[in-house]
Amino acid sequence: MSLNKYFKTEGPWSDAKVELLCSDTGSWRSERPVVDEEKCILCGLCAIYCPIQIVKEQTDCFEADLTFCKGCGICAQECPAKAITMVSEGEFK
Amino acid sequence: MNSKTESNFKVMTGNAAAAIGATLSRPDVVAAYPITPQTEIIEQLSKFHANGELDAEMITVEGENSAMNAVMAASLAGGRVFTATSSWGLVFMYDAVLAAAGARAPVVMVNVNRETPGIIAVSSGQQDMISTRDSGWIFLIAENCQEIIDTVITAYRLAEDYDIQVPVMVHYDGFYLSYLSEVVDVPTQENVDKFLSVLNDQPARTILTPGEQTGCGSHGILDGYVELRYKHCMAMERAKDKIDQIDKEFSNIFERSYGGQVEGYRLDDADVVLVGSGSMCGTIKTVIDDRRKKGLKVGLLKIRMYRPFPSEKLIKHLKGKKAIGVVDRSLAFGFKGGPMYTELKAFSEELEGSELISFIDGIANTDITKKNINKMIDMTCDLAEGKDVPEVTWVSYGPQQGGE
Amino acid sequence: MTEPKKKRLTKVLDHLQHEDPFSKGVAFCPGCTLELLIRFIPQVLGNDLVITGTPSCSAPVLLGQNTATWHKLSYFGTLMTGAAANATGLVRYYNRKKIDNTVVCFNGDGTASDIGFGNLSGAAERNEKFIYICYDNEGYMNTGIQKSATTPFGASTTTTQVGSKLRGKNLRRTNLALQMAMHKIPYAATATLSDLDDLAKKLKKAKEMKNRGFCFLHVFAPCPTGWGLAPNMTIEACRRAVKTNYFPLWEAEDGQIAFTKTTKKPKPVSTYTELIKKFSHLTEKEQEILQSDIDYEYCLLQGLSNIVGTCQLPD
């Protein structure tokens, strides 16, 4: 049995340079944020309040990268211009 | 002697010896919290620190739990560390003791043996060591003040060895050694540096550094978890040969040897043997000399490295002896006999006919006197002659337990 | 062709100078304020932090799995009992070796106010040079919502349940931030996730002041899963906590307490508790008790903020 199959070290050391993990949290959500570009006032509040920090500035509005969005709805709730609506995932299948 | 021309004899207590041994080893971080009978160690270290003789970070922690946590973290960041404790302090820090062993932090700690009873008592005994024997630490036990200073220095050489990386606890009897003054040949700083410099030539262990993206305390998952536990056990096994090798390195520089895992005293031709550890061995050796003069072939096997358990050496030296009395300064609750007796008894078959009996003495503030030892030797001789002898004797207690 | 839109970017974005070192797909509940906090801190302070973590809601993300990990920070994972002592050992060694460091001891309220309080107090007494951040979700969330010392009066948790004889926690919470401010440390502050500009400023101040000694940050972090709070309302819950003085925002620099946000007409606590299921059983009388506890803590802070004095020692 090889002693160094998992750990090269004696103790419980991890190294991000070796492997950075990622879960498919995008599959958790039951609804997703949809942005009305016209209503967006480019304030960036959705970007700062998103717990995953996946909302980024695009050309004319802020938008979430849906790969990891869990559908919490904070962006929609916090938007002062009510530009974001949470829409059921069922609409997108 | 450091060498015939370099002797540096001083009179000091066991605690002072421990403090000086630690100071000579040049620790980076020292954590200090007082508990009887260890308090003088940290007082001495504080004095050295205030005078500039100890160049280290002294952390006067608010409890022993913090002492072990602080030195464990500093050790994993790459530092050489030291702390000391006893009985209740040891068990108060026990979660961090286990964490340090699991994280494979090369911490060195002195534990001044003291009882851990339910009643309020400040007394000698090895129960604190026995309560923590499965922690995954290497345990070394010292017999006298000279051995204390030597063992503390050896502990660093062992713990920080790249092949080992297991924390080491140095035990010695509270009250009998902590406060006892003896003549000690203090190693020179130059020789200690030379002895420990071997570690500089070894590969560097993994340490926690800002910006390196590494972390310690990862969850072990499935087989990775088992792998870490297995590695720890294997490292403990490697410590047996390693301490023997280190003992040779030590004697080359300091001209003193302790035999590595175990030390035999007038053992080779002995028919009847006592097995013991710690300060009692000094008294046992004196009694053995007396009995030898009267013609009895009796010897002592001193256990110096208690964890890992030196079973191979014990079997090698004890095989074929007519009778063996194991002296325990502690109790193994749930077993009739003492802890070291119970552990040695597991190897009865390999001992090829040697009979074993258990002596429990020196607990609960009783002394292991020459009279007690003579009694133990007599009873072991009776065993060798095939007479009926109780398996377990509480030597200082009532007649039912074999005392008077 | 329409003109490009005028940007009205929040100034909080200016604080986010560094990359988010955490993987995007990590196991925090949707709407978790702890997730926002843990990503916010390194974006403000930098990715060369050394962060210590304990068994808690942050543990599954902060600590790795075998050799793999969920983020790029240096970390040390260990037990709750010794968190501040671990950070002490690290920072003492780094400073001795002149290794540039920012050690962040990152714990929940369970560690900070209960089991790890002894060594937190000890580290503060010794004025150790690191930042201790307590995220307060008012209970032990990772083990299934049990009560801690910062759980407020009346709250329903699994160890303070609502039944025919007892009605939730019948003890008042402790004020952890005020206790730490009394340790004569250079910096103690409260912050929350609705006021991110305030939080960023406090983080930066802590990073600077930790070179003089111990810095303590108490961050109010609502838990949607544990409190029965809708995931999209967690930021709003922070906001209402501030507006009702349930969680006032203040800082103590060298012992001098000052509010960083004042609410001229605080709303009643019920406007906060109405969002949260763990308070839904409270009678009017019980609300009054909670209100009086909040009022007492606030007037204590107010009184202290009127006292002018510094605990900073002369050179």
Neighbours of chain A (3+ CB pairs under 8 A): B, C
What Å distances lie between residue B230 and A4, B94, B227, B282, CA to CA?
11, 21, 5, 37
How much of chain C is helix, strand and coil, in % rounded to 5?
A: 40, 15, 45
Q: Is the pLDDT assigned to residue C1 strictly greater than 70?
A: no
B52 touches chain A (CB under 8 A): no
How much of chain A is helix, strand and coil, in % rounded to 5?
A: 20, 20, 60
Q: Which of residues 213-232 of C touch A (CB under 8 A)?
A: 224, 230-232
C56 touches chain B (CB under 8 A): no
Contact A7 B231 (CB under 8 A): yes
Q: Is the pLDDT assigned to residue B6 strictly greater than 70?
A: no
Return mean pLDDT, chain C. 95
What Å distances lie between residue B240 and B64, B243, B262, B305, C236, CA to CA?
29, 6, 10, 8, 62
B273 touches chain C (CB under 8 A): no
Banded model confidence at residue A2, pLDDT cuts 50, 70, 90? low
Residue B120's pLDDT is 79
Among all residues of chain C, which has the CA nearest to that of B60? Answer: C126
B203 touches chain A (CB under 8 A): no
Strands B323-328 and B272-276: parallel
Q: Is the pLDDT assigned to residue B68 strictly greater than 60?
A: yes
Of A59 and B104, more confident: B104
Q: Are B354 and B321 in contact (CB under 8 A)?
A: yes
Proportion of chain C above pLDDT 70, given as a percent: 99
Chain Cα centroid distance, residue B231: 23
ipTM, 2 decimals? 0.95
Q: Is the pLDDT assigned to residue B5 strictly greater than 80?
A: no
CA atoms within 13 A on the CB side of C190: 25
pLDDT in tens, B331-382: 999 999 999 999 999 999 999 889 999 999 999 889 999 999 999 999 999 9
Residue C154's pLDDT is 95
pLDDT in tens, C280-312: 999 999 999 999 999 999 999 999 999 988 888
With b for 16 or more beta-carbon neighbours within 10 A and e for fewer, the C13-52 pattern comes to eebbeeebbbbbbbebbbbbbbbbbbbbbbbbbbbbbbbb
- Quote the CA–CA distance of C98 and C211 in Å, as a whole number: 12
A85 touches chain C (CB under 8 A): no
Contact B77 C48 (CB under 8 A): no
- Please tell me what DSSP assigns to residue C168: S
Q: State the average pLDDT over residues B247-263.
A: 96
Q: Which of residues 98-117 of C touch B (CB under 8 A)?
A: 99-102
Residue of C7, C39, C235 lying closest to A53 (CB–CB): C39
- Quote the CA–CA distance of B281 and B273 in Å, as a whole number: 12
Among all residues of chain B, which has the CA nearest to that of C95? Answer: B57
Cβ burial of B372 (10 Å; 0-12, 13-18, 19+) is: buried
- Please tell me what DSSP assigns to residue C270: H
The dihedrals phi and psi of A66, each to the nearest 5 degrees, come to -75, -5
Mutation choice for B interface testing from C62, C70, C81 by most B CBs within 10 A: C81
Return mean pLDDT, chain B. 94
Q: Which of B64, B97, B68 is nearest to B81 (CA)?
A: B68
Of B212 and B5, more confident: B212
Residue B119's pLDDT is 78
Contact C119 B65 (CB under 8 A): yes
pLDDT in tens, C205-254: 999 999 999 999 999 999 999 999 999 999 999 999 999 999 999 999 99
- Quote the CA–CA distance of B245 and B258 in Å, as a whole number: 11
Residue C2's pLDDT is 65
Among all residues of chain A, which has the CA nearest to that of B224? Answer: A6
Residue of A5, A10, A15 lying closest to B214 (CB–CB): A15
Using an 8 Å CB-CB cutoff, list chain A residues near B217.
Answer: 12
Q: Is the pLDDT assigned to residue B1 strictly greater than 50?
A: no
The dihedrals phi and psi of B6, each to the nearest 5 degrees, come to -115, 20
pLDDT in tens, A35-90: 999 999 999 999 999 999 999 999 889 999 999 999 999 999 999 999 999 999 99
Residue B2's pLDDT is 46
Neighbours of chain C (3+ CB pairs under 8 A): A, B
Residue C149's pLDDT is 96
Mutation choice for B interface testing from A1, A5, A10 by most B CBs within 10 A: A10
Q: Which of B344, B325, B313 is nearest to B270 (CA)?
A: B325
Q: Which amino acid is at C306?
A: N
Residue of B103, B212, B221 lying closest to C65 (CB–CB): B221
Banded model confidence at residue C315, pLDDT cuts 50, 70, 90? confident
Using an 8 Å CB-CB cutoff, list chain C residues near A86.
Answer: 232
pLDDT in tens, B166-187: 999 999 999 999 999 999 999 9
Residue of A49, A52, A72 lying closest to C231 (CB–CB): A72
Residue C96's pLDDT is 98
pLDDT in tens, B310-336: 999 999 999 999 999 999 999 999 999
pLDDT in tens, B28-47: 999 999 999 999 999 999 99
